Chain A
Amino acid sequence: MTDSVLRLHERDKSSLPIEYSKEEGDLRIVGFWIFLAAELVLFGTLFGTYLVLQSHTAGGPTAKDLFEIGPVMAETIVLLVSSFTCGLSTIELRRHNTKGLIAWLIVTILLGLVFVGLEANEFYTYAVHEGATLSRSAFLSGFFVLLGTHGCHVSLGIVWIIGILLQLAKRGITPVTARKAFMVGLYWHFLDVVWIFIFTAVYLTGWVI
């Protein structure tokens, strides 16, 4: 009896990692890559918007006035490390080590929470202490929406990982839970890449220009 839902010609899958071991896992992961491509366009549009509006400060605070190195570096390091721990979780997944996988995912969401907290604090400082709110200028609208979108993605990622952790705790590593853990890892690394672009296009150019 074949397990393929939707097509019958099976490849030999014994050599593949567990998340690809079922036809459905393969399908979902391919689709998720395409989804990430769409996300890339989404963030690309937001970056384009930000870069167009960067100089439209309307007499309000500029990038140079606002951005401070300390908190930004902290956010960057925390998120980069979380991406590393997320990678470690995928290695544990490949080794079929449920406990290791769960442990590294927990570390990842803790770091994610720290990142979100730092970013919220940064926004709070800008808005309350410097009067740099969303509606102050086009530049700030672009800034808050670009970073806010990224921050929302990270927050959703945290919720998603928690959901997967519950399933892992209950079911252990199965082809289905493995696929989910693998996909959330892709997602997390993607957000890390987006952050690197944010760091370059928003903060670095903000300090330089």
Chain B
Amino acid sequence: MKNLKTIIKPAFLLLVLPMIAGCSDKIAVLNPQGPVARSQYHLIIWSLIMMSLVLAIVLILFVYVLARFGRKNSKGFDPNDTGNRKLEIIWMIVPVVICVLLAVPTVKTLFALSHPPKATAAPAQTAGKTLTIDVTSVQWKWLFRYPGQKIETVNYVVIPAGTPVKFRLHAYDAMNAFWVPELGGQQYTMTDMPMNLWLQADKPGNYSGRSSNYSGRGFAHMTFTVMSRSADYFDSWVKDVKANKPALTHVKYMQLLEPNVLDKPQTLTFSSYPEIVAKDLNKAQMDALMAGKPIETDSMHGMDMKNDGKGGHHND
């Protein structure tokens, strides 16, 4: 038994260490830069430890039986060894215990993620404030609308560091997924159900995001940058946009909704947007509107905007 332990420990370290040591900034998921990503990171590391343990046990047993019983004329051949109630109960209980050890933090994290993370910026600046940004995925670009500031950006988004940001996710046409691995896990964007995703960055910095749900030809280019800046910088950036950037016109908005990839420039900034943008119409509704037909929103279930928490509940 002692022997076994001396094998397990280094084997286990050997497996886990390079991964933890490999938390360079290249491995985005293992390089959390905000509380949401961090809680997921803790869960990942915990599961990695448990699973490495399981794998190690299987590998050790595997190597042992092959080395011992794979030789010609090996001793100990016993064709009557066809079952062992006690052993079988043990290896039924052990996975149950492991599942419990994994399920408890999973459920805890799951419920915690439906609430906004705790703000970490200086309380004087945020004082319980949160920022809401409406995100719309269009084939193949990301539109960000700041309903509080009345400005719009395309393919990049600026957020104040240390402040919880509520991203409300919509899709204009195909389903996409909004993913910024360094700040937290993804959620889908859909035409018939807006969803909420809380994210928060610890520090100023640029974090790359991309669509992670396939949506057609330009999917691979559907990337965006989340620019986390100090709260002061954020306020002055908003002022600057308001003062110096063009307004998003109806015509320009319709152009943005065409399926294409923005080439040059890859990002856009607008100081204001027309009313139609705030309606978060999907393609079918927009087509109806353009054809002069009534827009059907009443019967479409996800269209109520009261979805709180992580994602909405679909009342079907």
- The reply, when asked whether chain A contacts chain B directly with Cβ atoms under 8 A, is yes
Interface positions of A (Cβ within 8 A of B): 51-52, 55-59, 137
Q: How many residues from B make CB contacts under 8 Å with A? A: 7
Cα distance A57–B297 when bound, in Å? 10
Cβ–Cβ < 8 Å partners of A58 in chain B: 296, 299-300
Cα distance A58–B295 when bound, in Å? 9
- Measured CB to CB, the nearest residue on chain A to B316 is A52
Select the residue from B294, B299, B300, B316 with max chain A CB neighbours within 10 A. B299
17 A-B residue pairs with Cβ-Cβ distance under 8 Å, sorted by A, are A51-B316, A52-B316, A55-B299, A55-B301, A55-B316, A56-B299, A56-B300, A56-B301, A57-B299, A58-B296, A58-B299, A58-B300, A59-B294, A59-B296, A59-B298, A59-B299, A137-B299
Expressed in whole angstroms, the minimum distance between the Cβ of B214 and any Cβ of chain A is: 24
Cα distance A56–B316 when bound, in Å? 10
Cα distance A52–B294 when bound, in Å? 23
User: Can you list, as one digit per residue, whether each of B260-302 has a CB less than 8 Å from chain A (1) or not (0)?
Assistant: 0000000000000000000000000000000000101011110
Closest 7 CB pairs of A and B: A58-B296, A59-B296, A52-B316, A57-B299, A58-B299, A56-B299, A59-B294
Select the residue from A52, A55, A58 with max chain B CB neighbours within 10 A. A58
Cβ–Cβ < 8 Å partners of A51 in chain B: 316
Cα distance A55–B298 when bound, in Å? 10
Cβ–Cβ < 8 Å partners of B299 in chain A: 55-59, 137
Cα distance A57–B301 when bound, in Å? 11
Expressed in whole angstroms, the minimum distance between the Cβ of B2 and any Cβ of chain A is: 55
Interface positions of B (Cβ within 8 A of A): 294, 296, 298-301, 316
Expressed in whole angstroms, the minimum distance between the Cβ of B283 and any Cβ of chain A is: 15
Cα distance A76–B294 when bound, in Å? 37
- Measured CB to CB, the nearest residue on chain B to A138 is B299
Cβ–Cβ < 8 Å partners of B300 in chain A: 56, 58
Expressed in whole angstroms, the minimum distance between the Cβ of A66 and any Cβ of chain B is: 15
Expressed in whole angstroms, the minimum distance between the Cβ of B293 and any Cβ of chain A is: 9
Cα distance A58–B299 when bound, in Å? 5
Expressed in whole angstroms, the minimum distance between the Cβ of A133 and any Cβ of chain B is: 16
Cβ–Cβ < 8 Å partners of A56 in chain B: 299-301
Expressed in whole angstroms, the minimum distance between the Cβ of B289 and any Cβ of chain A is: 13
Cβ–Cβ < 8 Å partners of A52 in chain B: 316
- Measured CB to CB, the nearest residue on chain A to B295 is A59
Expressed in whole angstroms, the minimum distance between the Cβ of A39 and any Cβ of chain B is: 25
Cβ–Cβ < 8 Å partners of B316 in chain A: 51-52, 55
- Measured CB to CB, the nearest residue on chain B to A139 is B299
Cβ–Cβ < 8 Å partners of B301 in chain A: 55-56
Expressed in whole angstroms, the minimum distance between the Cβ of A131 and any Cβ of chain B is: 14
> 12 additional contacts, CB 8 Å, given A55-B301, A56-B299, A137-B299?
A55-B299, A55-B316, A56-B300, A56-B301, A57-B299, A58-B296, A58-B299, A58-B300, A59-B294, A59-B296, A59-B298, A59-B299
Expressed in whole angstroms, the minimum distance between the Cβ of B192 and any Cβ of chain A is: 9
Cβ–Cβ < 8 Å partners of A55 in chain B: 299, 301, 316
- Measured CB to CB, the nearest residue on chain A to B293 is A59
Expressed in whole angstroms, the minimum distance between the Cβ of B282 and any Cβ of chain A is: 13
Cα distance A58–B296 when bound, in Å? 6
- Measured CB to CB, the nearest residue on chain A to B192 is A56
- Measured CB to CB, the nearest residue on chain A to B284 is A58
Expressed in whole angstroms, the minimum distance between the Cβ of A3 and any Cβ of chain B is: 40
- Measured CB to CB, the nearest residue on chain B to A55 is B299
Cα distance A51–B315 when bound, in Å? 12
Expressed in whole angstroms, the minimum distance between the Cβ of B303 and any Cβ of chain A is: 11
